[in-house]
Amino acid sequence: MNLLRRLLPDADLDAAWLRDPLVADKAMDDAFQFESISLNTPRDGLERLWQIDVEVAFEAFEEGLRRGGRASEGLAATAVSVDPSRAAAIIVERYPNVSDEKVRNDLGRALRGVANRSALEVSVAEMLSTENEPSRITALNVAGWLATPALDRRVLDIRRGDARSSIQKAAYAAADRSDRLQSVAALVSQIKMEDAPHERRRLLAIAMDMDKLKVLTTWGDPLYIGNAVRDDRELKLVNLRRKT
C-alpha cells in the first residue's frame, strides 16, 4: 500500500481495497512490479487491475509507457477496449518513450483497433503539420499503422519537403508499413469475394505469410482474419500459419 501511494499519490485506492481486499491486493502487487529495474510487469496483474479500478489501471498503464513500455506490454488493446479515446491519447503521447520494437508494434496494433478513428486521424494529421521534430516523428510512426489514404498523402508531402534525416527515416518507415498493411488489406478483400475453396485457401496462406505486423490475428483489427474465414479447414490453415 505504501508503494502504491508513493507511485500514485493522487489516486483514490481505498475504494478498490474495500470492494475486494484480497483480489485488489494481488492485482496491485502484480501490477506495480514495474517499480523494479526490469519493468517487466506480469500481464495478468494489470489485467486484473482493469476489473477493479479503471482509473488506477490507466495510471499504471500510462506510467508503464512513461518508463519505457515493457511494463505495459500486451495491455494497449485492453486500454483501448475500456476507453478508446483516452487510451489512444495516452499511447500517442507516450509513444516516444517506448524503444522496444515489440511493445511499439503492440501499441500500433492497438491504435488500429480504435472503433471511431476519425478524431485520432485528425490529431495525427495536426501533429504531422507541426515543424517540431519529435512530434512529427511520433505522428509518422502512428500514421504508418493507421494506413489511410489521407495520412499517406501527408507522409508523402513530408518525404518531399522535410530534409531532416530523422524525419526522412521515420517517413520512409511509415510509408513502408502503410504499403504492407494496404497490400494485406487488398488480399483480405479478395478473400472475402472469392468463392472457390482452393483459391480461398491459397489466398489465406499468402495473406498470413505477408502479415509480418500480425494484424490479421489481432482481434478488433479492421483486417482481423476471423471475419473472413468460412469453415474449420480455413481456420486450421490460419492457425497453422500463425504458429510458423
Rg of the chain taking only CA atoms, in angstroms: 20
In tens, the pLDDT along 171-226 reads: 999 999 999 999 999 999 999 999 999 999 999 999 999 999 999 999 889 999 99
First to last CA, the chain: 44
Domain boundary assignment for the chain: 2-112, 118-243
Q: What is the pLDDT, as a whole number, of residue 126?
A: 95
User: What tens digit of pLDDT does each residue of 69-124 get?
Assistant: 666 667 888 899 999 999 999 999 999 988 888 889 999 999 999 978 899 999 99
Query: In what helix (H) or strand (E) does residue 122 lie, and over which residues does it extend?
Result: helix 118-129
Dist CA 147 CA 112 (whole Å): 9
**pLDDT digits over 45-66, tens only?**
666 777 778 888 888 888 888 8
Cα within 13 Å of Cα(239), Cβ side: 6
Instruction: Give the DSSP per-residue string, 49-94.
Output: HHHH-HHHHHHHHHHHHHTTSGGGTT-HHHHHHH-HHHHHHHHHHH
Cα(63)–Cα(35) distance, integer angstroms: 10
The pLDDT tens digits of the residues spanning 111-125 come to 999 978 899 999 999
Burial-class residue 212 by CB neighbours within 10 Å (0-12, 13-18, 19+).
exposed
Does the pLDDT at position 20 exceed 80? no
Centroid of chain to Cα 138: 14
| Burial class (CB within 10 angstroms; exposed 0-12, middle 13-18, buried 19+) of 172 | middle
Size (the chain), residues? 244
pTM for the predicted model, two decimal places: 0.79
